[in-house]
Structure 1
Amino acid sequence: MQTRQDTDDYRRIFLQDVPLIDVRAPIEFQQGAFPTAINLPLMNDNERQAVGTCYKQHGQQAAIALGHRLVNGSLREQRTQAWIAECARQPQGYIYCFRGGLRSQLVQQWLREAGVDYPRVSGGYKALRTFLLETLESCAALPMVIVGGNTGSGKTLLINELMAGIDLEGVARHRGSSFGRTLVEQHTQIDFENHLAVRMLKKQHAGCRHWVLEDESRIIGSNNLPLALFNGMQQAPLVVIDDPFEVRLARLQAEYIEQMRLAFEHAYGEQEGWQKYAEYLHHGLFAIRRRLGLERFQQLTQWLDQALRLQRTQGNSDAHQQWLVPLLQHYYDPMYRYQLEKKTQRMIFRGNYAEVREFLMTYSQNSGE
């Protein structure tokens, strides 16, 4: 079998979803890694800390010697077997450590001694991460158009229909509002940036020469948009979806009430799922209680409780409209109108969902896609 070489083709790694074996310590992996990476560390967190302390106090040779003493005998054999098994599962993959240095070279050496020749990523995590940060910078420099509209306008739905659309909330695993959290935990900031960069790289490779993005604030849940991208969004032309109130209300009821109940019950079972679903809705209201004012917050909470009781006993979610309607009319819609007034000079089109979709499809064709 022909030996595969170490690689510095970072672009191919991300475009082709090449499997990666990350041999850094678990704490490093948790702080940030890549979508196709699996963590099989050379050293655990305590071992890495001990070697790091030794390096600072006694230099590289002493640190390497300590590393060999800590990861030896049955422990070395156990970890080597895990790497061998993963190499067999992912024969086209690569190993990496932080800089593509000592740790990944040592793992390579131990694998070779066990009869497995497996390449590593030159430059390691640092080089891969730098490549993705540069990708974000270059992608943020491309032209973009922003999709705005009141809550329930179907902005995210539309973004996902378009070739040039990047669903920032989807990448962030959060829908951006006080009711925005999903059942999946948000990425760390580094992982969010890495996933976003890979998404944009693939779209660009497929021919995208501009972006269609939702009108977002800088922070989506706990993730911050890259500054270059956010700054570009603040200057970009804006299209606005103006759908009838009833259409928006129906979308919100379907997405935040019916679909979320099903999602919670699917994840946790009927009893616990229902409880977590009710907590999710209460938490959404509670998060904006100061802006609502105490009296309105208490009234909406009372209506929410009534709606939950009716939904639980009768299986019908229509009673939720009693608190959803005033929440839109007195909170979300006025807030969005205020924000939109500051952006009117950037507005290039306004219409219902179908009209905005048609406009953006034509916009894409005119942009050479």
Structure 2
Amino acid sequence: MDSTCKDYKKIVIEEIPLIDVRAPIEFEKGAFINAVNLPLMNDEERHKVGICYKEKGNEEAVKLGHQLVSGEIKQERVDAWKKHLEEYPSSMIYCFRGGLRSQISQQWIAEVTGKEISRLEGGYKAYRNYLMGALEPAQQISKPVLIGGCTGAGKTTLLKNLENAIDLEELANHRGSSFGKHVTPQPTQINFENNLAAALIKHKNKAYRTMILEDEGRNVGRCNLPKPLVEFFSSGDLIILEVPFEERVLNTMKEYVIQSQERYIGTYQDKEGLNEWANYIRSSLGRVKNRLGGDRYKHVLDLFELAYQEQIYYSGCYEAHKNWIETLLRDYYDPMYNYQIQKSKHKIKFKGNIEQVLAYLGNNSLSF
């Protein structure tokens, strides 16, 4: 029996594991958050079959595919699927259109395990279309509420304390500024859209009255939000998170120095990790050089180099990093943010510290 599933909402809500049997090159361009790539054919095999299809037609291409994926190669592919299903027995399978590749994989799995795995009806293409539809403003039932505030105010920390929040920066793996890059890469644009759609579907399923978001532009690093969705988000009221300057300096140092260094060290060796982190800060400063102006850029860079040398060669402490962070916030980020707020058309609904904002949202963002 050919078992198929087209309940895409259920896949999102229940986070059903997926086996993507497309070639790695297809998977890398875009896939789904709960999918693992266990291909029927690798890139080279797929390429050969594609050429055969163009030159000799479908029947010969299918025959070549079976020749290429046979014997030990076939056994390796089936064993990989079997191993995954032992750990995730509720998994479903898909290829690009839900056609021959997923059907063959489904058949081979049944022959080896005696169990039938469901495949996505319409495959990747149909599921992707469903997710893209979920990005339409008309699909949203919650009222957007934007969280603003100067750099270091703790907006991300606030969002993590709210179950009805959508963290765009987390989905994009970027902090949304010139210094926003993480040690791990951003998702592809397709993956960002897929993951955002899944987050919106889950949010809608909870029937929240409001959707809390950080006040972002259209771009979060290299990931772009669809223009209609940006306009929908921008229609919400603005809440300003107010935090004393000294506290914002400490928050910024914790996130961009202490925690960031830990991530770089975790990815590289100790010394190499710190060198890579320092290069990331230098590169980030370079991106704001023109807006800082030559003299201020050199001043901030000098302060950074002094702090880095102090940490590495002398005290081992982070304290000196406060100097360049204070200057960058006071002379660059704060004036820029204040200018943006003055020009903004958003209605400021509330201002307060993190406890006051959480209390305000708790009283005004209940479910339907």
* 2:220 alignment partner AA: I
1:350 corresponds in structure 2 to: 351
Deviation readout 1:148-181 (Å, 9 max, x if unpaired)? 1111111111111112111110111110111111
Q: 1:110 to 1:345 in 2, by over 3 A?
A: closer
What secondary structure sits across from 1:165 in the alignment? coil
2:128 corresponds in structure 1 to: 129
Number of residues of Structure 1 aligned to a counterpart in Structure 2: 365
Q: 1:4 to 1:65 in 2, by over 3 A?
A: closer
What secondary structure sits across from 1:109 in the alignment? helix
Distance 2:130 2:298 in 1: 50
Q: Is the 8 A contact 2:82 2:113 kept in 1?
A: no
1:221 corresponds in structure 2 to: 221
List, as ranges, runs of 4+ consecutive aligned residues in structure 1 with deviation greater than 4 Å.
138-141
> Could you tell me the TM-score, scaled by structure 2's length?
0.93
Q: Is the 8 A contact 1:140 1:229 kept in 2?
A: no
Deviation readout 1:110-164 (Å, 9 max, x if unpaired)? 2233343322111111121112112222555642011111111111111111121
1:360 corresponds in structure 2 to: 361
Q: Is the 8 A contact 1:160 1:166 kept in 2?
A: no
What secondary structure sits across from 1:208 in the alignment? coil
Q: Is the 8 A contact 2:16 2:91 kept in 1?
A: yes
Deviation readout 1:5-28 (Å, 9 max, x if unpaired)? 421111111111111111101011
2:291 corresponds in structure 1 to: 291
1:203 corresponds in structure 2 to: 203
1:311 corresponds in structure 2 to: 311
Deviation readout 1:324-349 (Å, 9 max, x if unpaired)? 12211221111111111122552222
Distance 2:91 2:31 in 1: 15
Distance 1:39 1:23 in 2: 6
2:67 corresponds in structure 1 to: 69
Distance 2:191 2:248 in 1: 32
Deviation readout 1:45-99 (Å, 9 max, x if unpaired)? 1221222233233332232222222222332222222222222232211111111
* 1:87 alignment partner AA: L
Deviation readout 1:243-267 (Å, 9 max, x if unpaired)? 2211211211221122222222233
What secondary structure sits across from 2:4 in the alignment? coil
Moved more, 293-302 or 269-278: 269-278
Moved more, 220-229 or 199-208: 199-208
Q: Is the 8 A contact 2:142 2:207 kept in 1?
A: no
Q: Structure 2 regions of 5+ residues with no counterpart?
A: none
What secondary structure sits across from 2:16 in the alignment? coil
Moved more, 114-123 or 293-302: 114-123
2:25 corresponds in structure 1 to: 27
* 2:306 alignment partner AA: Q
CA shift, 1:108, in A, is: 1.7
1:164 corresponds in structure 2 to: 164
* 2:44 alignment partner AA: N
Q: Is the 8 A contact 1:54 1:62 kept in 2?
A: yes
Identity of aligned residues (%): 42
Q: 1:112 to 1:254 in 2, by over 3 A?
A: closer
Distance 2:331 2:97 in 1: 53
1:232 aligns with 2:239: no
* 1:155 alignment partner AA: K
1:118 corresponds in structure 2 to: 117
1:251-262 mapped onto 2 (5 Å cutoff):
251-262=251-262
2:154 corresponds in structure 1 to: 154
* 1:80 equivalent among 78, 81, 85: 78
Distance 1:263 1:197 in 2: 28
1:42-61 mapped onto 2 (5 Å cutoff):
42-61=40-59
1:40 corresponds in structure 2 to: 38
2:271 corresponds in structure 1 to: 271
Q: Structure 1 regions of 5+ residues with no counterpart?
A: none
Q: Is the 8 A contact 1:241 1:351 kept in 2?
A: yes
Q: Is the 8 A contact 2:5 2:120 kept in 1?
A: yes
1:337 corresponds in structure 2 to: 338
Q: 1:289 to 1:347 in 2, by over 3 A?
A: same
* 1:323 alignment partner AA: W
Distance 2:322 2:226 in 1: 36
Distance 1:111 1:259 in 2: 44
What secondary structure sits across from 2:126 in the alignment? helix
Q: 1:345 to 1:175 in 2, by over 3 A?
A: closer
